[in-house]
Amino acid sequence: MLDNGYITCVSPGSDVVGRGMPFSISLNGQQQSRESLEFWYYNDPQVTMIDPDTGPEKGGNIITLRGENFKPFHPDRNEIDITNSTFCYFVAMG
């Protein structure tokens, strides 16, 4: 616990994907919080194609990716929309 109004938790693995799982906290291991909270698991994104797959050292290329699970939830189905959470991240190899 970081302070009286903020706590961090690590989620366990799950094979349940695409629906909310009940979530609560406990201070003594017996009494649970009463809020109706859910935690959603989703499949990892899978990249199957990148175009172009090379570019100049200075960067600036527009890259198109194809694959699956880039946007696993749909707002019109009463599910979580993580559209603004999906992004590209480049890691320098050393």
Would you put residue 78 in left (φ > 0), alpha (ψ -120 to 50) or beta? left
Q: What are the pLDDT digits (tens) for 28-43?
A: 878 777 777 888 888 8
What integer pLDDT is reported at residue 81 of this predicted model?
A: 63
67, 44 Cβ separation under 8 angstroms = no
**Which residues are CB-neighbours of 18 under 8 A, at least 6 positions away?**
40, 41, 42, 72, 73, 79
**Statement: residue 78 has pLDDT above 60:** no
Alpha-carbon distance of 1 to 6, in angstroms, equals 7
What integer pLDDT is reported at residue 40 of this predicted model?
A: 81
**Domain spans in the chain, listed from the N-terminal domain onward:** 20-85
Q: Global pTM?
A: 0.53
**Statement: residue 1 has pLDDT above 60:** no
pLDDT higher at 44 or 56: 56
